[in-house]
Amino acid sequence: MNKPEGKYAWTVTVGAKGQFVIPKEAREVFGIQPGDTLILVADREKGIAIPPKEAYYEYFSKIFGTENQN
């Protein structure tokens, strides 16, 4: 199966402390460096996402349905 351009999927394992390691390829693709702060957003029905920092408001609006609010 060919993967669509720019689309990725990885698996991670959650440890006993609730931590997981972001795969090296994902860190390289998204420019994640040690010490970076990431934003984790979640919806019980839609799941969990870690959007790029520059797209935070767009993802937040979609997940929490605030597109039309100021």
Hey, what amino acid is at 49?
A: A
pTM score: 0.66
CB 23 within 8 A of CB 12: yes
Show Cβ contacts of residue 41 under 8 Å, excluding neighbours closer than 6 positions: 48, 49, 50, 51, 59, 60, 63, 64
- Give the count of alpha carbons within 13 A of 56, CB side only: 6
At 13-36, the pLDDT tens digits run: 999 999 999 999 999 999 999 998
Quick check: 67 pLDDT over 60?
Answer: no
Residues comprising the chain, all counted? 70
